[in-house]
Amino acid sequence: MKTDNTIGIIGYGSMGKMLLWKFAENAGLDKQSILVSNRTSDKLKEAEEVATIADNRQAAAKADIVFVCVRPADLKSVLEDIKDDINPDALLVSLNGSISFESIHKVISNKTAKVIPSVTAEIGRSQTLVCFDDNSMEKDKADLTQLLKTIGDVIELPEDEMGMGSELVSCMPGFIASIFDVICTSAQDHTSLPKEQIVSMVLATMSATGDLMIRKDMTFDDVVKRVATKGGITEEGTKVVYDGFPQTADLLFEKTLEKRRLTAESAGKSFEV
C-alpha cells in the first residue's frame, strides 16, 4: 500500500513507536514522508533509520496527518506548542479516547480524529477504533482509514461509544490475558504438568478457538453446545462459568468505565484552565 500523505508522529512512546515502525514497514512511506518528535530526543536515535527526526512544531507544520501520541496529562501542552505551526489543512489525530473534540478545539480548530489502536497491531491484526469530528471531510476519512488498514481492521464509532469500544478492543488483550492467567494458575493446583506446558496448551487452544469461530461463523453458544454435551464433563465446567463469572464481568466494566469517566473529567478540567 502506498500513501501520498506526509505523516507526523509526536510522542515516541509505546503507541508512537508502534505506529511509526508499522507505517514505515507497511504503508510505503519513505524517510522524508514520516516526521517524528519526542520530548526526550535521545530516544529518537533508532528512529533515524525510517523517519526524519523533527521537533513538535516541524512535525506539525509539514505533515498532512499529525498523530499526537502523548499521555492525556501532556496533550494540552503539546497542542499549545504546535497550534501556531500546524498546517491548517492537516488532520490532527489524538490517540487519547478520554479527551473530547470539544476540549481539543479549545486549543486547535483543525479537523480532528481520535484513534485507538490495539497492541495486536504488532502482528497486523489491530481492531483500530476511529472517530471523526464534524469538520473532517470524506477525503480525511478515506486517507486515515487507508493508513490505519496497514495495521489491521478499522472500525468507525461515534464519539460517545469510543469508551466502551476501547474496553472491547484496546483493553481486551489485557482482560483476556489476565483471565487466562487466572485459569492457568488454577490448573496448576490440580496437575503435575509444568506451568509452561499448561500455558502453551491453553494459548494454542484459545487462539484456535477464536479462529474456528471466525472461519466457521460460530457463536460462543455454538462452541459451548458443540463441546459441552448434556450431562458431560465440560458442561460441569461451563455451568460454573455461567453461574459465577457474570458478577466478575459486570464489576470489571463498572470499574473500567468509572475510571474512564473520572479520567475524562479531570482531562476536560485541564483544558478549562
Which range of residues in 23-31, 58-66, 68-76, 264-272 is near ligand NAP by CB under 6 A? 68-76
Query: Is residue 218 at the binding interface for ligand NAP, with CB under 6 A as the rule?
Result: no
Q: Does 131 bind ligand NAP (CB under 6 A)?
A: no
Query: What is the sign of the dihedral through the CA atoms of 102, 104, 107 and 109?
Result: negative
Q: Write out the binding residues for ligand NAP, residues 168-187 only, by CB under 6 A.
A: 170
Name the 3-class secondary structure at 189.
Answer: coil
| Residue closer to ligand NAP (CB basis): 5 or 37 | 37
CA–CA distance, 131 with 97 (Å, rounded to integer): 10
Q: Give the residue with the Cβ less far from ligand NAP, 119 or 199.
A: 119
Q: Which residues pair with 152 in a beta bridge?
A: 126
- Give the nearer residue to ligand NAP in terms of CB position, either 175 or 198: 175
Is residue 70 at the binding interface for ligand NAP, with CB under 6 A as the rule?
yes
What distance in Å separates the CA atoms of residue 95 and residue 78, rounded to the nearest whole number? 13
What's the closest the beta carbon of residue 88 comes to ligand NAP, in angstroms? 21
Contacts of residue 191, Cβ cutoff 8 Å, sequence gap at least 6: 198
User: Nearest to residue 256, comparing CAs of 180, 181, 168, 183?
Assistant: 168
Contact segment (CB under 6 A) with ligand NAP among 37-45, 177-185, 230-238, 254-262 equals 37-45
Does 152 interact with ligand NAP (rule: CB under 6 A)?
A: no
Pick the binder of ligand NAP from 44, 50, 107, 119 (CB under 6 A).
119
Supply the minimum distance, in Å, between the C-beta of residue 188 and ligand NAP. Answer: 28
Phi, psi of 184 (to 5 degrees): -65, -40
| Closest distance to ligand NAP from the beta carbon of 72 (Å) | 5
- For residue 94 the three cell numbers come to 489524538
- Per the listing, cell 499529525 goes with 66
Whole-number Å distance between alpha carbons of 26 and 146: 11
Question: Binding ligand NAP by CB under 6 A: which of 39, 83, 106, 149?
Answer: 39
Cell of 117: 489502536
> Do 75 and 99 touch, CB atoms closer than 8 A?
yes
Using CB under 6 A as the criterion, which residues of the chain lie in contact with ligand NAP when the complex forms? 10-16, 37-40, 43, 56, 69-72, 74, 77-78, 95-96, 116-117, 119, 170
